[in-house]
Each structure stands twice: as structure tokens, then as C-alpha cells.
Structure 1
Amino acid sequence: MRLLSVNLGRPTAVPYTDQPEGLTGIDKRPVDGPVRVSAPGPKGVGASGLAGDTVCDLRHHGGDDQAVYAFAREDLDAWERELGRTLAAGAFGENLTTTGLDVSGARIGERWLIGSEVVLEVSAGRIPCLTFQGHLGERRWVRRFTERAATGAYLRVIVPGEIRAGDAVEIVHLPDHEVTARMQFQAVTTHRELLPRMLAAGEALHPETLAAARKYLARHGE
């Protein structure tokens, strides 16, 4: 298990975002050399956890619980075959392109040691948006991505430091529950009946999902 690339985005003007300035940082490209990773601060204020990376829409992206986004090269390869086009590392707006790691199947609260010092913790799957659809230029992309539910994973920064392409990834903590990034994504999108099961992940759960699960239980019971 290792990082194939570390990808950063610069603010780019596009016609498919609803940001007032028309800017997005979704077009991320691999970079050479080490990149500093640290907790960026709360959502709405903090942006990316990677130095030099841009988050333009602070309403929905960035912040401590979504500091880093990882996606598996194996899932990019599967989409390449289906779409009939090349998808470079960073094509899905991911900061980390991995190999040998089931990113969407990672458990909420699972922790990864990357290189010799950085520790990241899985918090949620990625919900697709119209900016993502515009970036890919594929019809019905939001629906197709949602149906596949190979979401990748958002991660918190537990121990800051530097990472670079080629770093080993080691799972150093595996929680004793079955709530994965994929399941969390399904619970907040297409299968809301899964919400009560999310509580097994405890405080490691993304706070918005935790609130949704508690609200669902208050309305519907067990």
C-alpha cells in the first residue's frame, strides 16, 4: 500500500461552478517533492490540509473533517475502462492517489500512517457535486458516481508532517465496527435507513452524519 501521487489544485476560472468568483480548485495535479500536511481548522474557515492546495467552496469542502481526500488508483482504472478515456492521478479532485488500499472500504476512524510521521483518520465518503460533474464532462455523472458508491475517503489529520509520492501507507488502527466510507456515503444519500448503523462508529463519524443519524433515530426509532 502506497501513495502513487500527491495532488494539489490551483484556483481556476470555470463556467460550471456556482462560486461567486467562478473559481474551483478541483483540477488537482501531481507534484514533486514533499508536501506539508496539517489540520486546516473548522469547516467554513479551514480549507485544505495540504500546503499549496486550493479549496474555493468552503461551504461544502475543506475543514478538519475533510482535510484530505484520497481515491484509489484501482477505482480510477475501473472508471477508465467504463468511460473509455484516460484519468490521470488527481482527475477526481483527490489529494492522494493510492494503490493497494481499499479506500472506499476503509472504516470510519481507521488510521493510516503515511511515510514516517503523518497519521490520517478516515471520516467520510465523498459526495459528488455539479462542479465535479462539470470537471469530468460526463453526462449524469453525479448519479453514476452515486450508484457506484466507490467514493474514496475524506480524512482528518491526526499527526501532521510531510508526505510525498512513493510513501508507504500502513493501517495503524482498525476500529471494531463495520461502518465504511462507502456505507456512510450510502447512509446520507441513497439508503438513509442505514443511518442508525452509523452510530457504531462513534465520535469518529463525520459530525454532519452523526447529527443526521441522531435525528433519524429521534424520528423513526430503532
Structure 2
Amino acid sequence: MGFLLSLNVGQKRPVAAKSGFSGIDKRPVAGPVMLRSPGPKHGGLGSGLVGDEIIDVANHGGDDQAVYAYAREDLDVWSTELGRPLLPGFFGENLTTTGIDVNGALVGERWRIGDEVELQVTLPRIPCRTFAVWMDQRGWIKTWVSRATPGAYLRIVRPGELRSGDPVTVVHQPAHDITIAMVFRALTVEPDLLPLLLNADDLPADARNLAERRTSLALDAEPASQPSNSRT
């Protein structure tokens, strides 16, 4: 069992990228904060946390990216490498956890947090230009991709209230070995892994469609079997 070390929400603040504003600057709150399904990415409520703003709604938010979790243990590694403290929420995560292997979580895995909320692991976080600008670190996206510790997006299975300090328990793991770290590598630097993602029934539609296309192309590229020249 792990714990919700910090619950973080963001407001629209100036960032030197895209529209000039972003909600990436998440800051800790004690709670309670209500979680509810935000609906579709386009035309929905954005974040799964009431009071948490998402500005780039074309690429973020929606049911499959309702909540973003990152492990304090991974933040500590980055803090040492970058030589600066990284407060909870600095990577734009809503949930800063401890005692949970976020990157080793399986697609479709379910977490119970506190007494009410149940979440399902969906996808890794893919870095964007806003994240790079926010970090102000040369070559940040390349560095981030090379580490493959992206954190996990989750959908809301059961809504409810969250507070900092709530226990986090893994209550279900599916019968496959497709982890968040593996999906991240497949979507970034190891596309040959994409067909393997089809083993995860709960993989969101966009990633599944990409994996299916990759699998179809690979099958189409296989040479046709040659007829035998042997005589009987």
C-alpha cells in the first residue's frame, strides 16, 4: 500500500508557450477535492479534479487523461540529477504518490484512494513543448524520453473526494505485462513494441488504433511464402 503524499491542482497562469497560458503549475492543496469523470477530451470538463484547470484541451484532459500521477521517488531522482528541489506538482501531476510503482503499473490496473475513489491506469505522459518551456532545461524532452519514467494518466472509475495523506491500494491487476513504462517506450523510441500493446484490453482507443495500424503494416510487409520445388 502507498499513500497520496500530495494532492495538486493548477490554475491558468502565464507560460511562454502556445497560447501564453497553461495549467501545468500544479500546487498542493489539503483537500478535500472532488473527482468526477470529465467526459470527452473535446467538449468535456477537462480535468477530473474540480477546480483544476486545463488550458490545452485539444491535447490534455478527458476521461482517459482525467488524473495524472507521479511518484515522489521519481521526483527525488530528478531533483538529484537536475540539482534543484522539485516540489509536489512541479511536473504538472495531480497526485504525488509514495510507495506505488507508477511506471511499473499495468494498463488497466485499478487503484483505490481513500474510502471512495477508484481510478484505472490508462496511459503514460508524453512530453510537450509547454513542459519543456516550463522546465527551462536544455534538451529536456530528449532527456525525459531517455529515462522512461513518465508517470501515469488514470480514468475515474468511481468518483469521490480525495485528501492529501489518503492511502493508495492496488485493488486489481489485469492478466498481462503491459506497463506504463513499456507503453511510453512504444509510443516514443521503440515503435516495434506497439503490436504488443494489443494484449492490454483496457488500452485507450487512440493508442490501440496506432498499435493495430503498426501490426497491420508489419503483416503486410512480410514476404509471401514460396511454393516448394520438391517433387514426390
What does residue 75 of structure 2 align with? 76
What does residue 215 of structure 1 align with? 213
Cα deviation digits, residues 35-61 of structure 1 (max 9, x gap): 000110111222000000010001110
TM-score normalised according to structure 2 size: 0.92
In structure 2, distance between residues paired with 1:60 and 1:185: 16
Paired amino acid for 2:216: A
What does residue 173 of structure 2 align with? 174
Paired amino acid for 1:18: K
What does residue 18 of structure 2 align with? 18
In structure 2, distance between residues paired with 1:59 and 1:78: 31
Q: Structure 1 residue 33: deviation in Å?
A: 2.2
Comparing 40-49 with 158-167, which one deviates more in the overlay? Answer: 40-49
Q: Structure 1 residue 208: deviation in Å?
A: 1.1
The equivalences for 1:153-192 within 5 A come to 153-192=152-191
Q: Structure 1 residue 130: deviation in Å?
A: 1.1
Q: Structure 1 residue 207: deviation in Å?
A: 1.4
Q: Kindly name which structure, 1 or 2, has the bigger radius of gyration based on alpha carbons.
A: 2
In structure 2, distance between residues paired with 1:167 and 1:186: 31
Q: Structure 1 residue 107: deviation in Å?
A: 0.3
The equivalences for 1:48-127 within 5 A come to 48-127=47-126
Cα deviation digits, residues 74-126 of structure 1 (max 9, x gap): 00000011000000000100000000011011000000000011000000100
Counterpart of 2:68 in 1: which secondary structure? Answer: strand
In structure 1, distance between residues paired with 2:131 and 2:115: 32
TM-score normalised according to structure 1 size: 0.96
In structure 2, distance between residues paired with 1:201 and 1:45: 27
Q: Structure 1 residue 176: deviation in Å?
A: 0.7
Percent identity of paired positions between Structure 1 and Structure 2? 52
What does residue 32 of structure 2 align with? 34
Query: How many equivalent residue pairs?
Result: 218
In structure 2, distance between residues paired with 1:217 and 1:117: 39
Paired amino acid for 1:44: H
The answer on whether the counterparts of 2:48 and 2:67 sit within 8 Å (CA) in structure 1 is: yes
Paired amino acid for 2:14: A
In structure 1, distance between residues paired with 2:204 and 2:84: 33
In structure 2, distance between residues paired with 1:68 and 1:33: 15
The answer on whether the counterparts of 2:15 and 2:130 sit within 8 Å (CA) in structure 1 is: no
What does residue 41 of structure 2 align with? 43
Counterpart of 1:2 in 2: which secondary structure? Answer: strand
Cα deviation digits, residues 150-202 of structure 1 (max 9, x gap): 01000000000001100000000011100011111111111000011001101
What does residue 200 of structure 1 align with? 199
In structure 2, distance between residues paired with 1:209 and 1:133: 23
Structure 1 outlier segments of 4+, above 2 Å: none
Counterpart of 1:122 in 2: which secondary structure? Answer: strand
